[in-house]
Structure 1
Amino acid sequence: MLCVGRFFAPDGCSDALMPYLTSEKRISVPTYFITGDEDPGKGSTSLVDDIQDGGEVCKNLTFLGRAGAKRLPCGLSVAYLSGAYKPDKYALDAAFAGRRNAKTLAPHYISSDVDEIVRAARGGEDGEENEEFSLAGVDVLLTAEWGEKFDALLPDTMSHPLASATEDNLSPAVTRLATEVAARYHVAGTEGAYFAPPPYRNALHATRFYGLGKVGNAAGAKSLVAVAVTPTAQLALDAARTGARDGGDACTP
């Protein structure tokens, strides 16, 4: 299971997770998550402050990390970005953004985080040239936010999913990732609405975008989507080359 958006409670309370942290209950399937703009000042990120580059919180619950791309044990390749876009923070380097020796996970990402994802998704997790990644891209892109100008994907017959939104949480950085990272799926949260436009073309194949609502939201917006994905690791490189050359769609809906 992959989780996007704000994972932790805004007040920092982890009561819902406590039975799993103490092994009283067990998470039945491997679950991987990113964070949104949770406030570290309220202790919201206390469970991941010591594993900002990713790590296990408890059995079957893993924080992917701040930003990057990696292959999961199941074979899926994922690119991920935790945090939210804030213009006055985005252009700062790591030192000025307070990243150096930071003891808490920052709620906002910076441009070098996005650069790292693009580099990792194109070259592989270790940064070396990786033919498999460069030919087939990544299986899933995970972001807390939707990309700015996402409505360019709207067909004429589809109503605007954020027509009644009272605030703008859209991110130009996520738009860059959606453009430069060849992902078969892109899943995002935060906007509190469900949105599943038709697939759009990227450099290698096609991307299906899913914007998900908050779990348990009063409006009943869909907060969960199930897809069947054959990991790129299981696809022959020849098939990946053929799909890229012929414009084939590698997605499995």
Structure 2
Amino acid sequence: MDVNTKILVVGDVCGRFKQLFQRVESVNKKAGPFEMLCCVGDFFGDDKQNEELIAYRNGFKHIPVPTYILGPNKKEHEKHYLDLNHGEICTNLTYLGKRGVYTLSGGVKIAYLSGVECSAGTNDAYQFTKADVQSVRNSCLISKNCATDYRGVDVLLTSQWPYGMQEKENEKASKLISHLCREIKPRYHFCAINSIHYECPPFRMPKDETTQFELCTRFISLSGVGNTTKSKYIYALSLKPVDKSRLLDLVQKTTDEVPCPFIGLDLGGTISKNETSESHQYFFDMDAGKRRSGEHDKKSKRVKIWTVEQERCWFCLSSPDVEKHLIITVGDRFYLALAKGPINDHHVMLMSTEHIPCVARLSPEDWDELNKFKTALRKFFKSIGQAVCFTERHYKSPHLQINVLGFEEGYAWKIKHSFEDKAEEYKLEFETMPALTSPEMLPELGPYFLAELPDESTLITRNMKQFPLHFARDVFCSENLLNCDEKVNWRECQLDKDEELALVKSFRKNFAPFDFTED
């Protein structure tokens, strides 16, 4: 029997961390255990208030429930998000990122969008754009094989209100969020930053090209922690995932429903017709020519942090520690090298020449060259009767690394099943996406793990709690595939330098007809 997933949602914290976590601890003891606490609105307050977090950062106090927060909603709060390592602020406190979909171990899907809608001519880190909204929408819809059986997502988290909920709040509301809510059809939509508690009666989204069902949404705005009016700022949910719920429960109407506030609403051309669900194809380019607001320019603090890391990174091409004898070929932005402790003779790695943490952070120019390498490698492996799999682990790895491994073509169909079997063993939850066509498809800050399969579909998980660092090798070395468990740990199958040089020379020679860097 499936057990419901329990989560907590809280409104503006504004630096009142001690009061929040004391309340959460009490609620967790009485009604828990809760799997996670989600914070919408302003998590940080002024500098004096934020001092309460020091005790939790230093380990003197403990956060009772894994807590996930959205990004800043104002310029002055951006500084609190610039030096996060994989989104982790401290134990049990994680920044979700700019936008995405987070899937819990029980299958509950939580879509989220940080910040406030950008105004004309601006695109700061605390603002979201049309591209961010479309990215969340596509992440929700794309996992469905049939375009008419979409059941919605369980929860949508935003800080800003959707336009159309209350007339007096519309000047602070977002038409883009209204569009997102109408498209992805969440069962619950939580927001904050208006400093009021408001629960709208349930309303139903109409049928469209993605679903034949009229799905119900409950909109809830939460007040701030420690508000003087003692209005509600914390909300408890017990959910069975929509994908595991009875269809009758999802479509059955109640007597207190109201008309959908987004029907007939003039969104002022927020999203053009060819960018909505009226097309059965879901595009991921998302204005790819523009850098996302999380990609700060050369003057930003984040880039300064990367520069410091680069000085000691083993994988940056300019680093004195990089093992140059492993390099097979070098492009302008990426290089190909033999894997350390390779599983077989054709186990190689794609790495960025400069210090970039993950594929989600690539510029359009970076992305183009990465695709050239992948295309060349697919052609090379096909020429020797093999299918290829690419994996990336953006977790406890400061530099972008893509493992590339070839398999006999007859084994290609087994790879996905092997990932699924191993995921079940480690209690990981994967989603299937189509071919990876843009970095916008990936969580901007991570962490995440992905595998691009021979059929070019993509498996991805953000369920990185206690994620095994050897997971990909564990899959590849399993009995179903290469049957070499002794090679799961790369340290136990390292080669001496002469053997490595021989493999590099052989791969370079065989890869030469496909190597575009020599043109």
Distance 1:38 1:87, change over 3 A: closer
Deviation at 1:111, TM superposition (A): 1.0
Any conservation in 2 of the 1:200–1:208 contact (CA below 8 Å)? yes
**Structure 2 residue aligned with 1:35, among 49, 64, 71?**
71
Deviations 1:137-156 (A, max 9, x none): 211000001111113xxxxx
Q: 1:89 to 1:133 in 2, by over 3 A?
A: farther
Q: Calculate the TM-score normalised by the size of structure 2.
A: 0.37
What is the deviation of 1:24?
0.9
Counterpart residue identity of residue 76, structure 1:
V
Q: Per-residue displacement from partner, 1:5-47 (whole Å, max 9, x unpaired)?
A: 11111448631211111111111111111134132xx4x3344
Paired with 2:66 and 2:148, the residues of 1 have a C-alpha distance of 23
Could you say which structure has the larger radius of gyration?
2
Alignment-derived partner of residue 76 in structure 1? 108
Map 1:45-84; keep pairs closer than 5 Å: 45-51=78-84, 55-73=87-105, 75-84=107-116
- Paired residue for 2:194, among 186, 191, 195? 191
The one-letter code sitting in structure 2 at the alignment partner of 1:68 is G
**Structure 2 residue corresponding to 1:144, chosen from 151, 154, 159:** 159
* Corresponding position of 1:135: 150
Rounded to whole Å, the distance in 2 between the matches of 1:65 and 1:110 is: 14
Partner of 1:179: 182
Amino acid at match of 2:141: R
Shift of 1:71: 0.5
Q: Within 5 Å, give how 1:1-253 maps onto structure 2.
A: 1-11=37-47, 14-39=50-75, 42=76, 44-51=77-84, 55-73=87-105, 75-89=107-121, 97=123, 106-124=125-143, 129=144, 135-151=150-166, 162=168, 168-202=171-205, 203=207, 204=213, 205-232=215-242, 235=244, 239-240=246-247, 247-248=251-252
Deviations 1:160-194 (A, max 9, x none): 8x5xx7x9311111111111112110000011111
Determine the C-alpha separation between the residues in 1 that align with 2:60 and 2:139: 37
Q: Provide the aligned length of Structure 1 versus Structure 2.
A: 211
SS of the aligned residue for 1:19 comes to helix
Q: Distance in 1 between matches of 2:99 and 2:81?
A: 14
Evaluate the alpha carbon distance shift between residue 80 and residue 134 of structure 1 in structure 2; reply closer, same or farther with a 3 A threshold.
Answer: farther
Partner SS state of residue 236, structure 2 = coil
Post-superposition shift, 1:214?
A: 1.4
The alpha-carbon deviation at position 243 of structure 1 amounts to 5.5
Rate the CA distance shift 1:120–1:50 in 2: closer, same or farther, 3 A: farther
**Superposition deviation, residue 230 in structure 1:** 1.5
Specify which structure has the bigger relative contact order, considering alpha-carbon pairs within 8 angstroms and separated by 6 or more residues: 1
For 1:86-107, what per-residue CA distance to the aligned partner results, in whole angstroms no more than 9, with x for missing partners? 32157xxxxxx46xxxxxxx11
Give the match's secondary structure for 1:217: coil
Q: Which amino acid aligns with 1:146?
A: W
Checking the alignment, whether the CA contact within 8 Å between 2:78 and 2:126 is kept in structure 1 is no
Shift in Å, 1:115: 0.7
RMSD over aligned CA atoms reads 3.0
**Cα shift at 1:72:** 2.6
Structure 1 Cα separation of the partners of residues 97 and 193 of structure 2:
18
**1:133, 1:194 → 2: CA distance?**
35
- Partner SS for 1:168: helix
* TM-score, normalisation: structure 1: 0.73
> Is the Cα contact below 8 Å between 1:5 and 1:144 reproduced in 2?
yes
* Change beyond 3 A, Cα 1:146–1:210: same
Which residue type is aligned with residue 60 of structure 1? N
Per the alignment, residue 293 of structure 2 pairs with none
Change (3 A) 1:58 1:110: same
CA change 1:13–1:74 in 2 (3 A) is: farther
- Equivalents in 2 of 1:142, 1:89: separation in Å? 26
Kindly indicate whether the alpha-carbon contact (under 8 Å) linking 1:12 and 1:45 is maintained by their aligned counterparts in 2.
Answer: no
Q: CA shift at 1:74, angstroms?
A: 5.1
- Comparing 15-24 with 54-63, greater Cα deviation is found at 54-63
> Structure 2 unaligned runs (5+)?
1-36, 208-212, 254-519
How many percent of aligned residue pairs carry the same amino acid? Answer: 30
Q: Tell me which amino acid in the other structure corresponds to 1:226.
A: A
Aligned in 2, Cα 1:58/1:168: closer, same or farther, shift over 3 Å?
same
Match of 1:94 in 2: none
